[in-house]
């Protein structure tokens, strides 16, 4: 409370001092930052890697980010709506980057001798800019985007996907091959946070998502192309290293399962804490029927049959588990599903005759479709793709299928019944929805999709064992759904990507890795409780609950309608 009043008073003070002088202040700040970013920050120039701090130092790596941010806020100066928030976000980001660099180098070198003039110019410039932006009058509501010519809109829609792809590739690549790894990574993360906050405040994301809705076909096509282009790009950038493609292959399976869970949790509102069991059942079925080396069965069925069987077995088990338990609501259901997850794990661990107990079934062979061996690397369009790329592509197909199931059910009477159950189960029943069978259907479809994803996972991981399907995995899946945005497909995919890629990216920080991971999750939920890609419905829910949240509600209805209703 006192912190808030103190900052309020400071802001008011800044505003009174700077009235009428904001524009020169901002320009001065921008010039200082840009000049400072072009000059060296440290006297020992290009050898920051000799410093041992695991955190923050470096020169060449970080300056580019402050430079980009300053360009961003110069742009913000001329974009009218939302510029105060955007400018504050951008300049706060620059303050954080320079201050972090300054403090860690100071700590490392024990004095000011290491610093060159650039860092001071940038630091002062960003503080000046911050003050200038604070002194601006509050933002007016971000305006709606006017309609642009068709080709411009299509260009924006596909350009946004391309930009996302490039940012992802850069994010994965950054810091892998220079001495100042961690400084660049942290600098980049701060940059991404500040830049996306600034862009968000300018209403760009809202505008783009409107365009996405308007041009769905092009959006989907561009998105699929970007996803398919990813292995080629990362392969080129990383000189053929398979590392990130391997990570992407785990993300693909995980994302498919997360979308399935999103039907259960996001749409029908059933908190399932044992969802990974269905994933595991699919994997075990696929391993048992897929001619593994160390196994208890001798069956070798073609994969397209195996994947269907895995999904069906998981769905049947889902119905068997669901039929008695789905009469429960809320917390009770969560506890029962938690128990089911544990039962599955313990059975897998102890029923040696079928599952080979804790050893699991290993040596699951690579997939072979016709003469195409998924275990070989292939050269496509002159790019050497490691063999994990094969799995990545088949997962893209699986995800496409899952997305179709998800979205088409969502816009049918079944999807409406699910949302009604989530909103008010008693009312749904009193309006004629057979809640038990609809909940069972959600459960079974979720299990079906998880079983299919599990079947692919058995081949990607080449082995299945009970420790791959622990409670923690269920929680991570659930976290992916919540973090990404309940009830949206893009949310589940992005959530999975962040939850799996982030710990990999943070490996540079070794023992502090999980600390950063946890902090990142907490911050994301604090500042974006609706998830990365919020469902428009849920977004409204949360914005109502939290009047202090700064997000401008983008109403889909023309505002005049709402007013007419209220006036009536």
Partner 1 sequence: MTTTAVAVERVLDAKQVVKQFGGLTAVNKVDFHIDSGEIVGLIGPNGAGKTTFFNCLTGLEEPTSGEIRYRGEILSGKPDAVVKTGLARTFQNIRLFQNMTALENVLVGRHCRTSTGPISAIFRGPKYKREEKESTAAARGWLDFVGLSRIEGELAKNLPYGDQRRLEIARALATDPGLLLLDEPTAGMNPIETAQAMALVNSIRDAGLPVIVIEHDMKFIFNLCDRVAVLVQGQLLVEGSPAEVQSDHRVIEAYLGAPVE
Q: Is the dihedral of CA 333, 335, 336, 338 positive or negative?
A: positive
Nearer to partner 1 among residue 147 and residue 413 (C-beta): 413
Q: Is the dihedral of CA 525, 399, 307, 443 positive or negative?
A: positive
Q: CB of residue 327 vs partner 1: minimum separation in angstroms?
A: 11
Could you tell me the CA-to-CA distances from 137 to 14, 144, 200 in Å, in that order?
12, 20, 18
Q: CB of residue 437 vs partner 1: minimum separation in angstroms?
A: 9
Q: CB of residue 559 vs partner 1: minimum separation in angstroms?
A: 11
Nearer to partner 1 among residue 429 and residue 554 (C-beta): 429
Chain residues in the site for partner 1 (CB under 8 A): 404-405, 408-409, 412-417, 419-420, 423-424, 426-435, 441, 445, 537-538, 540-541, 544, 556-557, 561-562, 564-566, 568
Q: CB of residue 163 vs partner 1: minimum separation in angstroms?
A: 31
Nearer to partner 1 among residue 440 and residue 464 (C-beta): 440
Nearer to partner 1 among residue 112 and residue 564 (C-beta): 564
154: three-class secondary structure by DSSP: helix
Quick check: 212 and 355 in contact, CB under 8 A?
no
User: How many Cα atoms within 13 Å fall on the side-chain side of residue 453?
Assistant: 32
Beta strands in 166-293 (DSSP E): none
Nearer to partner 1 among residue 381 and residue 565 (C-beta): 565
Q: Which two tokens stand for residue 59?
A: 């020169």
Q: Is the dihedral of CA 328, 332, 336, 341 positive or negative?
A: positive
Separation of alpha carbons 545 and 518, rounded Å: 25
Nearer to partner 1 among residue 293 and residue 412 (C-beta): 412
Nearer to partner 1 among residue 24 and residue 559 (C-beta): 559
Q: CB of residue 473 vs partner 1: minimum separation in angstroms?
A: 27
Q: Which of 66, 181, 56 is nearest to 123 (CA)?
A: 66
Q: Which of 243, 240, 224 is nearest to 232 (CA)?
A: 240
Q: List the end-to-end C-alpha distance of the chain, in Å, as a whole number.
A: 39
Q: CB of residue 454 vs partner 1: minimum separation in angstroms?
A: 20
Q: What is the phi/psi pair of residue 383, to 5°?
A: -110, 130
CA angle centred on 334, ends 333 and 340, rounded to 5°:
90
Separation of alpha carbons 217 and 108, rounded Å: 53
Q: CB of residue 566 vs partner 1: minimum separation in angstroms?
A: 6
Nearer to partner 1 among residue 235 and residue 535 (C-beta): 535
Separation of alpha carbons 313 and 319, rounded Å: 10
Q: CB of residue 261 vs partner 1: minimum separation in angstroms?
A: 17
Q: CB of residue 326 vs partner 1: minimum separation in angstroms?
A: 14
CA Rg value for the chain:
26
Q: CB of residue 430 vs partner 1: minimum separation in angstroms?
A: 5
Q: Which residues contact 283 (CB under 8 A, 6 or more apart)?
A: 310, 454, 455, 457, 458, 461, 464, 468, 469
Q: Which two tokens stand for residue 104?
A: 């860690």
């Amino acid at each position: 409370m006192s912190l808030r009043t103190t900052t309020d008073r400071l802001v008011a003070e800044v505003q009174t001092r700077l009235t009428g002088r904001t524009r020169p202040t901002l320009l001065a700040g921008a010039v200082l930052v840009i000049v400072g970013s072009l000059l060296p920050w440290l006297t020992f120039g290009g050898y920051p890697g000799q410093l041992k701090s695991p955190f923050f130092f470096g020169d060449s790596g970080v300056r580019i980010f402050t430079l980009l941010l300053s360009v961003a806020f110069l742009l913000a100066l001329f974009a009218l709506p939302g510029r105060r928030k955007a400018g504050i976000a951008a300049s706060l980001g620059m303050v954080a980057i320079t201050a972090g660099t300054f403090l860690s180098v100071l700590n490392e070198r024990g004095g000011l001798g290491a610093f060159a003039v650039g860092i001071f110019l940038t630091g002062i410039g960003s503080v000046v800019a911050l003050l200038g932006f604070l002194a601006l009058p509050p933002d007016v509501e971000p305006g709606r985007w006017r309609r642009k010519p068709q080709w411009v809109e299509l260009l924006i829609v596909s350009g946004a996907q391309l930009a996302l792809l490039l940012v992802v590739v850069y994010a994965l690549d950054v810091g892998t091959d220079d001495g100042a790894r961690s400084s660049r990574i942290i600098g980049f993360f701060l940059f991404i946070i500040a830049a996306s906050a600034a862009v968000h405040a300018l209403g760009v994301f809202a505008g783009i998502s409107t365009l996405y809705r308007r041009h769905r076909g092009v959006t989907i096509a561009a998105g699929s192309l970007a996803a398919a282009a990813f292995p080629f790009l990362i392969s080129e950038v990383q000189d053929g290293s398979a590392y990130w493609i391997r990570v992407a292959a785990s993300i693909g399976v995980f994302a498919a399962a997360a979308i399935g869970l999103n039907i259960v949790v996001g749409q029908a509102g059933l908190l399932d804490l044992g969802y990974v069991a269905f994933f595991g059942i699919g994997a075990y079925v696929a391993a048992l029927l897929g001619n593994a080396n160390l196994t208890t069965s001798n069956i070798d069925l073609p994969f397209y049959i195996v994947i269907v069987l895995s999904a069906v077995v998981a769905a049947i088990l889902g119905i068997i588990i669901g039929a008695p338990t789905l009469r429960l609501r809320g917390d009770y259901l969560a506890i029962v599903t938690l128990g089911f997850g544990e039962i599955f794990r313990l059975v897998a661990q102890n029923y040696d005759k079928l599952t080979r107990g804790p050893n699991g079934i290993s040596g699951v062979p690579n997939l072979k479709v016709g003469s195409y061996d998924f275990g070989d690397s292939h050269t496509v369009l002159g790019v050497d793709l490691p063999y994990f790329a094969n799995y990545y592509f088949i997962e893209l197909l699986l995800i496409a299928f899952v997305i179709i199931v998800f979205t088409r059910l969502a816009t049918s009477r079944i999807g409406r019944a699910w949302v009604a159950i989530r909103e008010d189960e008693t009312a749904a029943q009193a309006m004629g929805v057979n809640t038990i069978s609809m909940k069972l259907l959600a459960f079974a479809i979720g299990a079906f999709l998880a079983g299919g994803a599990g079947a692919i996972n058995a081949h990607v991981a080449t082995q299945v064992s009970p420790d791959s399907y622990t409670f923690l995995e269920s929680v991570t899946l659930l976290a992916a759904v919540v973090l990404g945005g309940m009830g949206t497909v893009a949310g589940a995919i992005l959530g999975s990507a962040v939850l799996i890629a982030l710990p990999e990216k943070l490996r540079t920080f070794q023992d502090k890795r999980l600390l950063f991971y946890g902090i990142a999750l907490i911050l994301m939920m604090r500042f974006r409780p609706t998830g990365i890609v919020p469902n428009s419905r849920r977004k409204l829910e949360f914005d109502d609950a939290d009047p202090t949240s700064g997000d401008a509600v983008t109403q889909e209805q023309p505002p005049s309608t709402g007013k007419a209703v209220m006036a009536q």
